[in-house]
Amino acid sequence: MNQRERNRIRRAINVLLTQRAVLLERLEEINENLRRVPRGSRARRELLAARESIREAIRLNTVAIRLLRSVL
Protein backbone atom coordinates (compact mmCIF):
# COMPACT_ATOMS: atom_id res chain seq x y z
CA MET A 1 0.00 0.00 0.00
CA ASN A 2 1.46 3.34 -0.97
CA GLN A 3 1.25 6.68 0.82
CA ARG A 4 -1.55 7.94 -1.43
CA GLU A 5 -3.78 5.01 -0.47
CA ARG A 6 -2.99 5.49 3.22
CA ASN A 7 -3.95 9.16 2.96
CA ARG A 8 -7.24 8.24 1.29
CA ILE A 9 -8.02 5.80 4.10
CA ARG A 10 -7.15 8.41 6.73
CA ARG A 11 -9.48 10.92 5.04
CA ALA A 12 -12.23 8.30 4.97
CA ILE A 13 -11.73 7.65 8.69
CA ASN A 14 -11.92 11.39 9.42
CA VAL A 15 -15.17 11.66 7.46
CA LEU A 16 -16.60 8.71 9.38
CA LEU A 17 -15.56 10.28 12.69
CA THR A 18 -17.32 13.51 11.68
CA GLN A 19 -20.40 11.54 10.70
CA ARG A 20 -20.33 9.76 14.07
CA ALA A 21 -20.25 13.09 15.92
CA VAL A 22 -23.27 14.32 13.95
CA LEU A 23 -25.16 11.09 14.59
CA LEU A 24 -24.43 11.23 18.32
CA GLU A 25 -25.64 14.84 18.45
CA ARG A 26 -28.85 13.90 16.66
CA LEU A 27 -29.35 10.95 19.00
CA GLU A 28 -29.05 13.30 21.96
CA GLU A 29 -31.69 15.62 20.45
CA ILE A 30 -34.06 12.70 19.90
CA ASN A 31 -33.61 11.54 23.48
CA GLU A 32 -34.44 15.05 24.72
CA ASN A 33 -37.57 15.18 22.56
CA LEU A 34 -38.68 11.76 23.80
CA ARG A 35 -38.89 13.19 27.32
CA ARG A 36 -41.48 15.71 26.16
CA VAL A 37 -43.60 13.60 23.81
CA PRO A 38 -46.52 11.68 25.33
CA ARG A 39 -46.36 7.89 25.43
CA GLY A 40 -48.35 6.09 22.78
CA SER A 41 -48.39 9.03 20.39
CA ARG A 42 -47.49 8.79 16.73
CA ALA A 43 -44.69 11.34 17.21
CA ARG A 44 -43.15 9.15 19.92
CA ARG A 45 -43.23 6.08 17.67
CA GLU A 46 -41.53 8.06 14.92
CA LEU A 47 -38.86 9.32 17.31
CA LEU A 48 -38.25 5.79 18.58
CA ALA A 49 -37.87 4.53 15.00
CA ALA A 50 -35.48 7.37 14.19
CA ARG A 51 -33.48 6.63 17.34
CA GLU A 52 -33.19 2.98 16.40
CA SER A 53 -32.00 3.76 12.87
CA ILE A 54 -29.41 6.23 14.20
CA ARG A 55 -28.14 3.65 16.66
CA GLU A 56 -27.72 1.19 13.80
CA ALA A 57 -25.93 3.84 11.73
CA ILE A 58 -23.54 4.48 14.65
CA ARG A 59 -22.90 0.75 14.97
CA LEU A 60 -22.11 0.43 11.26
CA ASN A 61 -19.97 3.56 11.41
CA THR A 62 -17.94 2.01 14.23
CA VAL A 63 -17.44 -1.18 12.24
CA ALA A 64 -16.30 0.79 9.18
CA ILE A 65 -13.80 2.80 11.21
CA ARG A 66 -12.44 -0.37 12.81
CA LEU A 67 -12.03 -2.06 9.43
CA LEU A 68 -10.31 0.93 7.86
CA ARG A 69 -7.93 1.24 10.80
CA SER A 70 -7.05 -2.44 10.50
CA VAL A 71 -6.01 -1.85 6.88
CA LEU A 72 -3.57 0.87 7.93
Predicted model pTM: 0.89
Angle in degrees, 0-180, between the axes of helices 42-71 and 3-36, rounded to the nearest 10: 160
**For the segment 10-59, what is each residue's pLDDT rounded down to a tens digit?**
999 999 999 999 999 999 999 999 999 999 999 999 999 999 999 999 99
Torsion of CA 43, 57, 23, 30, to 10 degrees: 20
- Is the four-CA dihedral 6, 12, 15, 20 of positive or negative sign? negative
